[in-house]
């Protein structure tokens, strides 16, 4: 069953039934100021940090779900409704929600009155603009009351929900005509306030929630709205809100536009006050005046649209398969940008108070947006590296406001450092900006200990070399990429977290996944050394990498697939000797990408085992058989019921590792099959089962052992977005930036006839047409650049040009490897 459809011409997903299986959300904002918005206008706004600067209140895991938002109420002769259906839930004559790129348009119609709201955050501004259009589509004049509504969060979203003994006494507001100000704690340590404005005179307002709603009413039927009578309340403590009331008359056919602005203002020191206890509103007024007419709002909106046009023009695919094109050209890139901005902080599944910017997450996210905003990617790399320790180790996350690392969700995840090599080398390949390697970057934010970025990469590399276990494999530390494989934890206390609790200090538990990762990014490091004239460094690195390859062959191979780890006691994890968890996906992916033992058929065997044991209708599960009992020596992984999350869920993040692995041995059909299985646009028709948005990836789909296989959770903020984009564009479609040129190396189903791609890279535009006349999966026979044949499949860079590239696939090919 479908709840809507894609409109590729406007790059929108159009929801036509408000009762989606889960709130289907979108994100507004591109820098600094952000909002989440669901298909019924639920969600909240925040400035930079969803915990410390949350403007509006949202109630997670509530009944009904998706509770709290920016709501409009219309009282039209006693019929009360909301254009987004919720919160009133009056049945509408027409409903439509269009989620676009950084904007959402929600429209409802009831009894010949149409209300359509365009929500967006203009570029470079700290406010959400809501352009509301009201139209009388009937033959009779209309006179009705319109109420707006937001509920203020008392800034710290965590404290807001738990410190009621204080918070119910702190709320303060100011009312100034059509602008309602929220200034809680402004008089002491805060230098910021928020406001909600409408560009028209109001008949009344409310700023105190209970006065507006009535003590025992729900937001579906606030007393003021039901009676058509605002209370003109002024909040003192309790729960401050902002609600405007406008009385509106519309002749038949007449329309009226109103602009609502939800904004955030900072005023430093002496600028804080206009007079005693009266906030300085100059900055608020300046912000309002930028968008307070429909014309100004439309100009800002067009700016936003051009911004996205510019970004998405950098990679355009024409494959003839609209589901593929819309993912590659629109939604997957969009999700990568959102994930870049949010990391794992705020979604329907991340409550915006717990998770900062993850070290490994942010590095991996980067590979999905580096081609869109290379400058911001550069800054991100510096920010992340600045939190690193001198020995290469890392804080597991950092806080976006201060950019300082912390161990609130644990530390000593021994995969962390290597991801910095991934992000830095991808950035270099995309931009050629080798200067970044000389940039002085602090360790643990201490400027006195700053070293060139290159030294950080070296520290990452040697963090592995210096932390090897009894078999010579990398020690896992607290966990590797799989947060829940806690081999040193041994937790018996249900009140402690697996990630932060004291670990045993034994230096025995080893990770074969990190070994594979090390071979892939260790080679990248060695290659980078070579390219930058550090030959000796490169040789030494190569030596360590070769050593690791041998170690994996000797101790990391189980006969038919790669082992996953050795536990604290030195016993095999992910082996046929185990009763459960005989095989895991991560080490198959990384060791395949590292091509360890490819010459002996190990890669092929391992990937065949994945197909046989891990693959299912909905994707590749993480491990098999699923754990059915708690294994104290494995930790959190075995706490999940079978088929969910890290215990044999389809963890979409690592499916692309297998796709890429398949391309290493030229199996285009397999790579494509895996890609399609979890790609949301192909799942639209099973939305009822899949549950989350059909336009973005979810972190996890319940696996074959689950109660309900195919049901997804944790959409939006997941490394899945970047990795799938990376796998499909770089390895399946095979357009791969390298240091000296653009590499063309597709690996596709043999039946594909070809496709076209426009790729903008380093100010050069390539119009590439790939054709596959001989029906192969891999292999490039000929590449013509502007009609001239080149040697091999690497198109050397030549900045500032536009090239037409004709690629012919075929078996004769001398394919340049890597
Ligand atoms: C989740 C992981 C998450 C970890 C750390 C676990 O419960 O399953 O996905 O990374 O917690 O927060
Ligand atoms: C989600 C975390 O954000 C990520 O860092 C981790 O790798 C996966 N869960 C797998 O556990």
Q: What is the pLDDT of residue 812?
A: 60
Mutate to test the pocket of ligand 2, among 361, 636, 654 (most ligand atoms within 8 A of CB): 361
Q: Ligand 2 mean position to 398 CA, how many Å? A: 15
Instruction: Say how far apart CA 366 and CA 429 lie, in whole Å.
Output: 13
Mutate to test the pocket of ligand 2, among 413, 481, 486, 497 (most ligand atoms within 8 A of CB): 481
Q: What is the pLDDT of residue 816?
A: 54
DSSP output for 44-86? -EEES-TTTTEEE--BTT-SSSSB-B-EEEEEETTEEE-TTST
DSSP state of 552: H
- Residue closest by Cα to atom 3 of ligand 1: 483
Protein residues whose CB sits closer than 6 Å to any atom of ligand 2: 344, 358, 360-361, 481-484, 646
Binding site membership of 409 for ligand 1 (Cβ less than 6 Å): yes
> Does 355 score more than 80 pLDDT?
no
Q: What is the pLDDT of residue 354?
A: 81
Ligand 2 centroid, distance to 587 Cα (angstroms): 15
Report d(CA 325, CA 315) in Å as an integer: 11
- Ligand number nearest CA of 517 is 2
Q: For the chain, what percent of residues have pLDDT higher than 70?
A: 99
Ligand 1 pocket check for 645: Cβ under 6 Å? yes
Interval 711-739 mean pLDDT: 98
pLDDT value at 818 more than 90:
no
Token pair for residue 149? 């509504």
Closest approach atom of ligand 1 to CA 699: 9
- Per-residue pLDDT at 121: 98
pLDDT single digits (tens) 308-328: 999 999 999 999 999 999 999
Predicted local distance difference test score (pLDDT) of residue 191: 97
Please tell me the predicted confidence (pLDDT) of residue 400: 79
Distance CA(651)–CA(642), nearest Å, equals 13
- The mean pLDDT of 555-577, rounded to a whole number, is 98
Nearest to 50 by CA among 340, 379, 342: 342
User: Interhelix angle for 374-385 vs 418-431, to 10°?
Assistant: 150
Among all bound ligands, the one having the nearest atom to the CA of 408 is 1
Distance 352 CA to ligand 1 centre (A): 15
Asked whether the beta carbons of 408 and 500 are under 8 A apart, the reply is yes
CB atoms within 10 A of CB 386: 21
**Closest ligand (CA of 362):** 2
DSSP string, 643-672: TBTTBT-EETTTHHHHHHHHHHTT-HHHHH
Mean pLDDT of all residues in 615-628: 98
Q: 612 with 560: CB under 8 angstroms?
A: no
Q: Over 90: is that where the pLDDT of 506 sits?
A: no
Taking the C-alpha atoms of residue 441 and residue 448, their distance in angstroms, rounded to an integer, is: 10
Mean predicted confidence (pLDDT) in 98-124: 98
Read off the pLDDT of each residue in 196-214 and give the average, rounded to a whole number: 98
Question: Which pLDDT score, from 0 to 100, does residue 736 have?
Answer: 98
Instruction: Tell me how far apart the alpha carbons of residues 167 and 202 are, in angstroms, rounded to a whole number.
Output: 29
Q: With a cut of 70, say whether residue 642 has pLDDT above it.
A: yes
| Residue 708 alpha carbon to ligand 2 centre in Å | 22
Over residues 178-203, the mean pLDDT reads 98
Q: Which atom of ligand 1 is nearest to the CA of 355?
A: 12
* Mean pLDDT for the stretch of residues 406-415: 89
Q: Whose CA is nearest to atom 7 of ligand 2?
A: 481
Ligand nearest to the CA of 482: 2
- The mean of the pLDDT values for the chain is 96
Question: In the predicted model, is pLDDT for residue 815 greater than 60?
Answer: no
pTM value is 0.97
Q: What residues contact residue 431 under an 8 Å CB cut-off, 6+ apart?
A: 370, 374, 378, 762
Q: Is the pLDDT of residue 814 over 60?
A: no
503 pLDDT more than 90 = no
- Residue 637 CA to ligand 2 center (angstroms) comes to 12
| Residue 483 known to be catalytic | yes
Whose alpha carbon is nearest atom 9 of ligand 2?
Answer: 483
Give the long-range contacts of residues 596-601, CB within 8 A, separation 24 or more: 596/516, 596/519, 596/549, 596/552, 596/553, 596/556, 596/562, 597/552, 597/553, 597/557, 598/664, 598/665
Mean pLDDT of 396-423: 91
Whole-number Å distance, alpha carbon 691 to ligand 1 midpoint, is 21
Average pLDDT over residues 716-721: 98
List, for residues 37-56, the tens digit of each pLDDT value. Answer: 999 999 999 999 999 999 99
CA 140 to each of CA 95, 112, 249: distance values in angstroms, whole numbers, following the listed order: 22, 9, 11
Please pick, among 49, 483, 615, 745, the residue that the annotation labels catalytic: 483
Kindly state the percentage of the chain with pLDDT values over 90: 94
- Could you report the per-residue pLDDT of 282-311, keeping only the tens digit for each? 999 999 999 999 999 999 999 999 999 999
- Ligand 2: centre distance to CA 563 (Å): 20
pLDDT at residue 813 tops 70: no
Indicate if ligand 1 lies below 6 Å from the C-beta of 183.
no
Cβ count near 465 (within 10 Å): 17
């Amino acid at each position: 069953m479908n709840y809507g459809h894609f409109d590729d011409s406007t790059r929108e997903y159009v929801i036509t039934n408000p009762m989606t299986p889960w709130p289907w959300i979108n994100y507004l904002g591109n820098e600094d100021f952000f909002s989440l918005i669901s298909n019924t206008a639920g969600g909240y706004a925040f400035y930079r940090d969803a915990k410390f600067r949350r403007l509006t209140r949202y109630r997670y895991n509530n009944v009904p779900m998706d509770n709290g938002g920016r709501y409009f109420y219309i009282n039209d002769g006693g019929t009360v409704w909301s254009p987004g259906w919720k919160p009133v839930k009056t049945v509408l004559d027409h409903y439509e929600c269009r989620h676009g790129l950084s904007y959402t348009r929600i429209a409802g119609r009831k009894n010949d009155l149409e209300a359509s709201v365009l929500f967006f955050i203009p570029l470079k501004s700290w406010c959400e603009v809501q352009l509301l259009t009201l139209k009388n589509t009937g033959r009779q004049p209309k006179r009705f009351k319109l109420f707006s509504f937001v509920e203020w969060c008392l800034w710290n979203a965590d404290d807001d929900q738990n410190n009621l003994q204080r918070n119910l006494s702190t709320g303060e507001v100011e009312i100034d005509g059509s602008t309602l100000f929220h200034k809680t704690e402004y008089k002491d340590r805060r230098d910021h306030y928020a406001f909600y404005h409408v560009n028209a005179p109001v008949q009344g307002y409310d700023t105190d929630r209970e006065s507006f709603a009535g003590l025992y009413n729900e937001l579906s039927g606030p007393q003021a709205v039901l009676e058509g009578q605002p209370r003109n309340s002024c909040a003192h403590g309790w729960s401050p809100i902002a609600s405007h009331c406008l009385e509106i008359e519309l002749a038949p056919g007449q329309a009226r536009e109103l602009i609502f602005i939800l904004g955030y203002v900072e005023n430093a020191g002496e600028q804080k006050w206009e007079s005693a206890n009266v906030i300085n509103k100059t900055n608020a007024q300046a912000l309002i005046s930028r968008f307070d007419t429909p014309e100004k709002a439309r100009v800002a909106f067009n700016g936003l649209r051009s911004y996205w046009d510019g970004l998405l023009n950098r990679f355009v695919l024409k494959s003839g398969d609209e589901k593929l094109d819309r993912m590659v050209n629109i939604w997957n890139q969009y999700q990568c940008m959102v994930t870049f901005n949010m990391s794992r902080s705020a979604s329907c599944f991340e409550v915006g108070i717990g998770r900062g910017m993850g070290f490994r997450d942010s590095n991996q996210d980067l590979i999905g947006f580096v081609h869109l905003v290379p400058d911001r990617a550069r800054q991100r790399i510096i920010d992340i590296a600045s939190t690193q320790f001198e020995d290469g180790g890392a804080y597991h996350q950092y806080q976006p406001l201060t950019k300082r690392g912390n161990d609130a969700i644990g530390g000593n995840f021994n995969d962390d450092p290597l991801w910095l090599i991934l992000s830095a080398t991808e950035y270099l390949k995309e931009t050629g900006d080798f200067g970044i390697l000389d940039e002085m970057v602090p360790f643990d934010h201490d400027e006195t200990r700053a070293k060139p970025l290159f030294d950080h990469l070296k520290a990452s590399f040697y963090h592995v070399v210096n932390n090897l276990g009894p078999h010579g494999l990398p020690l896992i530390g607290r966990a590797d990429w799989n947060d829940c494989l806690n081999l040193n934890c041994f937790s018996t206390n249900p009140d402690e977290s697996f990630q932060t609790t004291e670990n045993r200090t034994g230096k025995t538990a080893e990770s074969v996944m990190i070994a594979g990762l090390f071979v892939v990014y260790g080679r990248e490091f060695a290659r980078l050394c070579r390219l930058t004239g550090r030959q000796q460094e490169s040789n030494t690195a190569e030596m360590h990498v070769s050593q690791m390859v041998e170690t994996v062959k000797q101790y990391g191979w189980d006969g038919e697939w790669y082992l996953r780890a050795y536990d604290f006691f030195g016993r095999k994890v992910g082996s046929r000797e185990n009763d459960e968890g005989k095989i895991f996906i991560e080490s198959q992916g990384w060791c395949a990408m590292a091509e360890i033992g490819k010459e002996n058929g190990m890669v092929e065997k391992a990937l065949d085992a994945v197909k046989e044991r891990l693959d299912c209708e909905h994707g590749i599960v993480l491990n098999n058989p699923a754990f059915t009992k708690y294994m104290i020596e494995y930790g959190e992984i075995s706490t999940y019921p079978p088929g969910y999350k890290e215990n044999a869920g389809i963890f979409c993040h690592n499916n692309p590792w297998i796709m890429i692995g398949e391309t290493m041995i030229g199996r285009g059909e397999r790579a494509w099959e895996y890609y399609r299985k979890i790609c949301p646009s192909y799942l639209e028709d099973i939305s009822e089962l899949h549950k989350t948005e059909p336009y973005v990836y979810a972190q996890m789909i319940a696996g074959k052992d689950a109660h309900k296989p195919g049901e997804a959770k944790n959409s939006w903020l997941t490394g899945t977005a970047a990795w799938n984009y990376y796998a499909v564009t770089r390895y399946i479609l095979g357009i791969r930036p390298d240091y000296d040129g653009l590499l063309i190396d597709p690996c596709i189903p043999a039946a594909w006839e070809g496709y076209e791609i426009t790729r903008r890279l380093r100010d050069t535009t390539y119009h590439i047409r790939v054709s596959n006349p001989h029906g192969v999966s891999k292999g490039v026979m000929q590449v013509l650049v502007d009609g001239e044949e080149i040697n091999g499949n690497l198109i050397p860079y030549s900045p500032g040009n536009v090239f037409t590239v004709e690629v012919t696939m075929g078996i004769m090919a001398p394919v340049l490897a890597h």
